[in-house]
Chain A
């Protein structure tokens, strides 16, 4: 009986590497376990309560400018939710505005117009080299808080009122049956995107003319129009702010705290986004631009069909970190009295006396917001990358 000479398992690289994985995995778990137990023990030794039972109790403290209706009789849990929504409100609006502004600044920076390019450069360097907290203080303490009193409001066309109690915009508000129109609008947008994709795919497959541009534009208008008619002809009304007595009534109001935070976050992040976009565009091989021009494409077509799709692949990953930074930076609002997640959390710690549970909740929420944002953008990033075969 001949014995095949085998490598013993303790010298087999496959076994060894698997074993190393298992051992290091166990070590990590053990470390986390030790940290957790140590943490609980330390908290107990200091009489710090770790229970979450307080979440059902009435919060009893006011929150300025809540995103959803809030009274002091609502629970700590609900107050926390208000904080989360206040964070999301400024983060989402900030991300959208910073992306638009950042892209515009990047295009200005790359423009062949000398003045425009230098202005963009100055904007970028100014904002990139000043700490965000300082910008926040500049915008809040020296701009929004120093606006004139209500009686002497600055009135911009619109009308938009600017005073030390906030910024008031004219804003469309849906009437009672207005939701029909709103639904039509949403349906129209969805239908137009769907039709565009389906009909365009069919044309690419069959080569037949499917009029996808015309059909989807029509869909974009038909649905809202039907909604408009169904809702009784006037689905929304413009809520115009006006000076009544000592206060501005009506319109959409942004508090000075929100406005200060928003403007500071947007300008600061836009400067970084501008650099990300510029580097993305410049990363596209110059030959692509020259080839596109040689084909006779217009400037707009060169940008939107050749340069930008390729630049996006470079832009998206650093863009994700800018979005995450903006979201996390909202916590600096503490300094200027905009009550987002962290401010609400800090007040809850004081009123409920539960430092550890509240901090864990705050960390968990930031972590989840960040991970979800990263996940969504990473999936998008995967879709637009080169498919290499």
Chain B
């Protein structure tokens, strides 16, 4: 063997050594580098080896709230390409349902709904940015699952009940799951959608050809060209996309719903005060709708005869602001900034919504037969 080959082999060997050094595989409890150069840091990566992760505490109590106040801006990880939830207008401004949730929190905590910094993140980034507490809040069309709750961060409350559905061509004759046996199905990679699809089809004993893309746009253009019989995603996303297809009326969204997708803003683990603050702002948006408080009538409602309304708007009892260290009218500011839950929904997805029209269905208030429900103010 020539020298060159020895070099190749040496590189190979070296690389595998590095690999081995970095990887305490199979639950071994030895330190990552076994000469003991770094004794204290060695154990934390090992404990999670086989059993799944022990959720780490990345932020200390009060730390995130404090850094938001110090910084004077709220950093949100958001979508920038999903009509209705998080997208950009012609001027490049972020807007959407999720964006308004971020603005509501900024208005409550900092007194200014524009004191926000939007960080565009991909579906795959959501876990890491929460785990490392790189952002303060992630309202990004994110499904709450037990696993993510344990591994990623604290999920606040469900702000949008979605479910995975299917879009097909109206003339395809597909009406049920069984009709899709053998169909080619376009799906985005790295989503819960992808694994739900696999599970449901396996359980039903049906076969399908998965056509998988990373870019959401490519998924639907490929479906539109006819490469796939079916496109699958959350129903809200399908509704959003359908309006942008060449001939929207040629496509139908089936009644079949194969999963629960509770879309929920989340915060990093560790700071309970911050977790509570975000939750209370979300509750306030929902309670405002229930109590008839709107963006327009916030000020006059402060003198309402209803005690719950006065408390909510900071003109009555303490709703918890003393404990959280916020202003009494923090929630009133949030409502004044973006409106109540119903107003936010209708702004983007209502009958004259900016993005598309999607019946509220499960996202009606509980008093109207939906699932949107918030704990009382006091």
Which residues of A are in contact with B by a Cβ distance under 8 Å?
32-33, 36-37, 39-41, 43-44, 46-53, 60-65, 71-73, 145-146, 149, 164-165, 247, 256-257, 334-337, 339, 343, 346-347, 349-351, 353, 355-357, 360, 364, 367-368, 371, 374-375, 378-379, 382
For B222, the chain A residues whose CB sits under 8 A away are: 145, 337
Q: How large is the interface on B (under 10, 10 to 19, 20 to 34, 35 or more residues)?
A: 35 or more
Closest 6 CB pairs of A and B: A350-B190, A62-B210, A72-B198, A53-B50, A51-B49, A52-B25
Decide: B195 and A72 in contact? CB cutoff 8 A.
yes
The contact sample of 5 A-B pairs, CB cut-off 8 A, is A37-B38, A41-B38, A50-B32, A51-B46, A343-B212
Kindly list chain B residues whose C-beta atoms are within 8 Å of the C-beta of A63.
210, 212
Chain B: which residue is nearest A39 at the CB level?
Answer: B22
- A52: chain B residues at CB < 8 Å are 23, 25-26
Whether B227 and A165, one on each chain, are in contact in the complex, defined by CB atoms closer than 8 angstroms, is yes
Which residues of A sit under 8 angstroms from B213, Cβ to Cβ?
Answer: 336-337
* A-contacting residues, B204-253, CB 8 Å: 209-215, 218, 222, 225-227
B227 touching A145 by the CB < 8 A rule?
Answer: yes
Q: Determine whether B12 belongs to the interface, using a CB cutoff of 8 Å to chain A.
A: yes
Supply 18 further A-B pairs (C-beta < 8 A) apart from A351-B195, A357-B23, A368-B12: A32-B14, A32-B18, A46-B132, A50-B23, A50-B24, A51-B23, A51-B48, A51-B50, A60-B199, A61-B198, A62-B187, A62-B194, A64-B209, A337-B214, A349-B190, A350-B127, A364-B15, A371-B8
In angstroms, Cα B90 to Cα A76, docked, is 42
With A and B bound together, what is the CA distance between A364 and B198 in angstroms? 29
- Look across to chain A and name the residue whose beta carbon is closest to the beta carbon of B28: A51
Chain A residues with Cβ under 8 A from B124's Cβ?
346, 349-350
Tell me whether A36 and B5 are in contact in the complex, defined as CB-CB below 8 angstroms, given that A64-B212, A164-B225, A337-B211 are known contacts.
Answer: no
Complexed CA–CA distance, A73 and B48 (Å) = 23
Contact A343/B189 with A43-B45, A60-B195, A360-B22 known, Cβ cut-off 8 Å: yes
Residues of A within 8 A of B27 (CB): 51, 53
Kindly state the separation between the CA atoms of A31 and B184 in the bound complex, as whole angstroms: 51
Chain A residue nearest in CB terms to B182: A247
Q: Does B19 contact A (CB under 8 A)?
A: yes
> Are the C-beta atoms of B214 and A47 separated by less than 8 Å?
no
Select from chain A the residue with minimum beta-carbon distance to B16.
A364
Q: Which residue of B lies closest to A338 (CB)?
A: B212
Interface: B128 (CB within 8 A): yes
Q: Does B318 contact A (CB under 8 A)?
A: no
Contact A60 B198 (CB under 8 A): yes
Tell me, rounded to whole Å, the shortest Cβ–Cβ distance linking A358 to chain B: 11
Taking the nearest CB of chain B, how far is it from the CB of A141, in angstroms? Answer: 8
A71 to B203, CA, bound (A): 12
B2 contacts partner chain A, Cβ-Cβ < 8 Å: yes
- Complex formed: what's the CA distance from A240 to B191 in Å? 38
- A43 to B44 alpha-carbon distance, docked (Å): 11
- What residues of B have a CB within 8 angstroms of the CB of A349 in the complex? 124, 190
> Given known contacts A149-B226, A164-B226, is B5 in contact with A49 (CB within 8 Å)?
no
Residues of B within 8 A of A60 (CB): 195, 198-199
Contacting pair A51 B214 (CB below 8 A): no
B377 in contact (CB, < 8 A): no
Interface status of B327 (Cβ within 8 A of chain A): no
- Complex CA–CA separation, A216 to B14 (angstroms): 45
Q: Which one of A71, A350, A353, A360 lies within 8 Å of B189 (CB-CB)?
A: A350
**Which B positions have Cβ atoms within 8 angstroms of A?**
2, 4-5, 8, 11-12, 14-16, 18-19, 21-27, 32-33, 37-38, 41, 44-46, 48-50, 53, 56, 58, 123-124, 127-128, 131-132, 151, 182, 184, 187, 189-191, 194-195, 197-199, 202, 209-215, 218, 222, 225-227
How far apart are A278's CB and chain B's nearest CB, in angstroms? 26
The distance in angstroms between the C-alpha atoms of A352 and B32, with both chains bound, is 21
- Are the CB atoms of A346 and B189 closer together than 8 Å? yes
Q: CA separation between A7 and B132, bound complex, in Å?
A: 61
A49 near B45: Cβ-Cβ < 8 Å: yes
- Give A64 to B25 CA distance when docked, in angstroms: 29
Q: In the complex, A71→B208 CA distance in Å? A: 11
Closest to A379 in B: B5
Q: Residues of A contacting B8 with CB < 8 Å? A: 371, 374-375
A379 and B1 CA atoms in complex are apart in Å by 8
Question: Is A44 in contact with B44, judged by CB distance below 8 angstroms?
Answer: yes
Shortest Cβ distance from residue B33 to the other chain A in the assembled complex, whole angstroms: 6
B184 closest partner in A (C-beta): A165
Contact A353 B45 (CB under 8 A): no
Q: How far is the CA of A53 from the CA of B198 in the complex (A)?
A: 23
Chain A residues whose CB sits within 8 angstroms of the CB of B56 once the complex forms:
47
B211-A64 in contact (CB<8A): yes
**Which residue in A37, A51, A257, A382 is a CB contact (below 8 Å) of B24?**
A51
CA distance A371 to B195 in the complex (A): 35
Please tell me which one of the listed residues B19, B53, B189, B211 contacts residue A49 in the complex, with CB atoms under 8 A apart.
B53
Asked if A337 contacts B212 (CB within 8 A), the reply is yes
Whether the pair B212, A51 counts as a contact (CB closer than 8 A) is no
Using A63-B210, A64-B209, A343-B214 as known contacts, say yes or no to A53 and B4 having CB atoms under 8 A apart. Answer: no
Partner of A337, one of B14, B15, B218: B218
Q: How long is the Cα–Cα vector from A360 to B197 in the complex, in angstroms?
A: 29
For the complex, what is the distance from the CA of A90 to the CA of B24, rounded to whole Å? 33
Taken together as a complex, chains A and B put the C-alpha atoms of A247 and B58 apart, in Å, by 53
Q: How far is the CA of A50 from the CA of B26 in the complex (A)?
A: 11
Do A51 and B25 touch (CB < 8 A)? yes
CB distance from A368 to the nearest CB of B (A): 7
CA of A235 to CA of B191 in the docked complex: distance in angstroms? 46
In whole angstroms, how far apart are the Cα atoms of A343 and B182 in the complex? 23
In the assembled complex, which residues on chain B have CB atoms less than 8 Å from the CB atom of A36? 18, 21-22, 33
Using CB atoms, name the residue of chain B closest to A65. Answer: B209
Question: Bound state CA distance, A367 and B10, in angstroms?
Answer: 12
A47 touches B131 (CB 8 A): yes
How many angstroms between the C-alpha atoms of A53 and B32 in the bound complex? 15
Q: A145: which B residues are within 8 A, CB to CB? A: 222, 225, 227
B132 A47 Cβ-Cβ under 8 A: yes
| Shortest Cβ gap from A296 to chain B (Å) | 39
Task: Pick from B16, B41, B151, B194: contact of A353, CB below 8 A.
Answer: B151
Determine the residue in chain A with the shortest Cβ distance to B26: A53
Tell me if A41 and B41 are in contact (CB < 8 A): yes
Bound-state Cα–Cα, A188 to B85, Å: 65
Closest to B49 in A: A51
Please tell me which one of the listed residues B2, B45, B199 contacts residue A51 in the complex, with CB atoms under 8 A apart: B45
A268 → B minimal CB distance (Å): 21
Point out the residues of chain A lying under 8 angstroms from B24, CB to CB. 50-51
